[in-house]
Amino acid sequence: MHIPLRAYWALLSRYLRPQWCLALLLTLLVPAQIGLQLANPQLMRRFIDGAQAGAPNEALLRLALFFLAVALAQQVVSVAATYVGERLGWTATNGLRADLAGHCLRLDMGFHSAHTPGEMIERIDGDVTALASFFSQLVIQVAGNALLLVGALALLLREDWRLGLGFGAFALATLATLLRLRNIAVGHWAAERQASAELYGYMEERLTGSEDIRANGARAYVMRGFYRHMRRQMASSLRAGLMANVMLTSHILLTALGMALSFALGAHLFGAGAVSIGTVYLAFSYTIMLQRPLERIARQLQELQRAGAAVGRIRALLAVPNRIVDPAVAGGALPAGPLAVAFRDVSFAYHDGRAGSDTEEGQGEEAVLQGITFALPPGAVLGLLGRTGSGKTTLTRLLFRLYDPDDGAVTLGGVDLRRLPVAKLRQRIGMVTQSIQLFHGTVRDNLTFYNGTISDARILTALRELGLDHWLSTLPAGLDSELETGGGGLSAGEAQLLAFARVFLQDPGLVVLDEASSRLDPATERLVDRAVAHLLRGRTAIIIAHRLSTVSRAGEIMILENGRICEHGAREALAGDAGSRFARLLQTGLEEVLA
């Protein structure tokens, strides 16, 4: 894998530009640090030559004190430069994390179906963390040490042109070798990062399902898979480390050659009377000084290989296109109040080859919906029936524009969904599913999704209408009470009623209900039924029905089978037609037939 230097520069310039004040301060600190570092050997050379020539003790004492002051100042500036560099690096990487997270949240459901949450955490945080050293130390360890290298060579050239040319040629040969080896391990580090992402994805999935794993005795199988992923990561990490050590080994060899060159040139020039013993010390000190920046540059280039792998994966992630995009020109606003729904010859297949949902699998390129055409007037309630895998959930996903249909069009309020901004579309549709997602945060935040414009009075009114005011009064801090992740501590009915309250606060024109009251006790079920009655008042609704009591709320019934509409009409008319499928469902039992 070859990562061009412009890719590194593009990231640096994009994320360091907003921190230009810190970057400017760093550019001032680094030359100051380099200047102080180069000054000390000069002072030592003067001290040695002065002592050899019999200079007064007072002059030698002043040189010694000046040497100590410069050394102390160098350490202070070095600490300051390191602090500023680290702060600059972490600020930049946090900006990159935010951009990656925002980009992934904007991507369509096809992308998220193909990547586990654990893998995405590793891609967004793990890969960016690998760049923290790149952002924070590049200027200090590469640019700063390159400046130190140039300064040392310039001073050697000033002392004697043969010293300058000899060590200049050696430094150029060393840098050329290191640059040639720069990308040798990038591909291996990319493989190691991918293995790490797969391991975290595996762990996230299994930890989420730990209860089912233990209940079904699958612990040994899961652990075997964990060991398999760990072995794969270890092997890829070993390969990457071995390839990266090629650069380190090359640097050790070049360091030995540099020391030999220093001794040979110093001995030759001193023997010829061309330089003093102080200058020989100066040449040796600068030789050691040359080795340090070369070593640091070598180590930074080794880190750059890790960063290169991360840069490649980050660029690939940012390059993933979003198939659900806002229109260049909006096609009109949605009307107020209940919204009409229409599907016109809609066909759709999951092109990611992944499951469409937990209850309904998209079979690769096989069409999940085929030629769906129906119209639902404003304020109507549609009961949507069908076996598992018939296309019910997919149909509602198209309404939210989580996917776009392959053929045909879906309209809401008479406007094609593809002509509406996605954010405005989803503001007008509310949904309550069988699985309620609650987050670690206050009751208020879970109901409003951190929308500060919704007043507490509106929240309390919604909870009162849903019969949750008594439950709220039992909480120690009311709306400020903290809920556990996943709704721990709440019953299934309370969690579902909170989901209804969310929709109330959103006040949509279309409501989609994936009703799951079959798992509730009778008292809670009555509360949920009352909430549904409140929610459907003055709104268009689509109810994915699982129970006959829910179907009784629908004015229209539509039955899907194998992605096609096999029956659609008014509920009372279908119930009165003995030959209709709906009438047979009523006679046989909805749960038995649709199971």
Name the range with the highest mean pLDDT among 328-342, 498-512, 518-532. Answer: 498-512
* 5 has a pLDDT exceeding 50: yes
First CA to last CA distance, the chain: 51
pLDDT of residue 2: 60
Confidence of residue 362 (pLDDT cuts 50, 70, 90): very low
Confidence of residue 151 (pLDDT cuts 50, 70, 90): confident
Classify residue 274 by its DSSP letter.
S
Tokens of 342: 């229409």
Name which of 3, 8, 9, 330 is nearest 185 in CA terms.
3
Q: How far apart are CA 513 and CA 382, in angstroms?
A: 10
* 1 has a pLDDT exceeding 70: no
More confident residue, 309 or 447: 447
3-state secondary structure 524-580: HHHHHHHHHHHHHCCCEEEEECCCHHHHCCCCEEEEEECCEEEEEEEHHHHHHCCCC
* 354 has a pLDDT exceeding 60: no
Order the strands of the 415-416 sheet from edge to edge: 367-376, 341-349, 407-412, 415-416
More confident residue, 536 or 215: 536
Residue type, 590: L
* 383 has a pLDDT exceeding 80: yes
Q: How far apart are CA 389 and CA 104, in angstroms?
A: 28
CA dihedral 589, 590, 594, 595 (to 10 degrees): -70
**What are the beta bridge partners of residue 411?**
342, 416
Q: Determine what percent of the chain is predicted with pLDDT higher than 90.
A: 12
Confidence of residue 364 (pLDDT cuts 50, 70, 90): very low
Q: What is the bridge-based pairing of β-strands 407-412 and 341-349?
A: antiparallel
> Which residue has 């995009």 as its token pair?
325
pLDDT of residue 549: 66
Confidence of residue 411 (pLDDT cuts 50, 70, 90): very high
Average pLDDT of the chain, as a whole number: 80
**For the segment 421-438, what is each residue's pLDDT rounded down to a tens digit?**
888 898 899 988 877 778
Contacts of 168 (CB under 8 A, 6+ apart): 153, 156, 157
Give the C-alpha distances (Å, rounded to integers) separating 248 from 37, 225, 434.
25, 35, 57
Name the range with the highest mean pLDDT among 163-177, 262-276, 345-359, 382-396. Answer: 382-396
More confident residue, 528 or 94: 94
pLDDT of residue 469: 83
> Which residue has 């008594």 as its token pair?
470
Q: How far apart are CA 545 and CA 380, in angstroms?
A: 15
368-388 average pLDDT score: 91
pLDDT of residue 542: 93
* 361 has a pLDDT exceeding 70: no
pLDDT of residue 417: 92
What angle (nearest 5°) sits at the alpha carbon of residue 169, between those of residues 166 and 172?
A: 150
561-574 average pLDDT score: 91
Domains plus CATH for the chain?
Answer: 5-318 (1.20.1560.10), 377-394+427-594 (3.40.50.300)
pLDDT of residue 137: 61
* 35 has a pLDDT exceeding 70: yes
Which range (84-98, 242-256, 335-349) has the least confidence?
A: 242-256
Give the C-alpha distances (Å, rounded to integers) separating 450 from 427, 441, 570.
14, 10, 40
**For the segment 479-522, what is each residue's pLDDT rounded down to a tens digit?**
888 887 666 667 777 788 888 888 888 889 999 988 655 556 67
pLDDT of residue 12: 73
Contacts of 534 (CB under 8 A, 6+ apart): 465, 466, 500, 504
Q: How far apart are CA 33 and CA 282, in angstroms?
A: 19
**For the segment 93-147, what is each residue's pLDDT rounded down to a tens digit?**
888 888 988 888 888 887 887 887 777 887 888 788 877 766 666 656 666 777 7
**For the segment 189-205, what is each residue's pLDDT rounded down to a tens digit?**
778 877 887 888 788 77
Confidence of residue 356 (pLDDT cuts 50, 70, 90): very low
Tokens of 15: 């994320």
Q: How far apart are CA 545 and CA 432, in angstroms?
A: 13
Question: 347 in the Ramachandran plot: left (φ > 0), alpha (ψ -120 to 50) or beta?
Answer: beta
Q: How far apart are CA 413 and CA 109, in angstroms?
A: 24
pLDDT of residue 405: 92
**What are the beta bridge partners of residue 384?**
544, 558
Which range (79-83, 356-360, 496-500) has the least confidence?
A: 356-360
* 152 has a pLDDT exceeding 90: no
pLDDT of residue 358: 39
